[in-house]
A and B are shown apart, each in its own frame.
Chain A
Amino acid sequence: MPDECRLTVPGRLDQLIIISEFIAQAARQAGLDERTVFHVQMAVDEACTNVIQHAYQGIEDGEITLACRRTDDTFVITIQDHGRPFDPTTVPPPDLGADLDVRRLGGLGLYFMHRLMDEVHFEFNAETGNTVTMIKRIAPQSQDDR
Chain B
Amino acid sequence: MALDIDIRNLKRVSVVSIKGRVDSSNAPELESAFHSLMDNGRYRLVADLGGLEYISSAGLRVLVSTLKACRRYNRGDLRLSNVPPRIAEVLNLAGMTPLFKIFDDTVGAVGSF
Contacts and interface: CB of A to CB of B under 8 A. Distances in A.
Interface of A: 13-14, 16-17, 20, 35, 38, 41-42, 45-46, 49, 52-53, 94, 96-97, 100-101, 103, 105, 108-109, 111-112, 115-116
B94 interface: yes
B31 interface: no
A17 B95 contact: no
Contacts, number: 61
Contacts of B94: 94, 96, 108, 111-112
B58 interface: yes
Contacts of B2: 17
B65 interface: yes
A97 B2 CA distance: 32
Interface of B: 2, 21, 23-25, 54, 56-58, 60-61, 64-65, 67-68, 71, 86, 90, 93-95, 99
Contact of A100 (B24, B60, B61, B99): B99
Contacts of B71: 100
A75 B93 CA distance: 22
A49 B56 contact: yes
A96 B99 CA distance: 10
Contact of B60 (A35, A108, A116): A108
A46 B67 contact: no
Contacts of B25: 13-14, 16-17
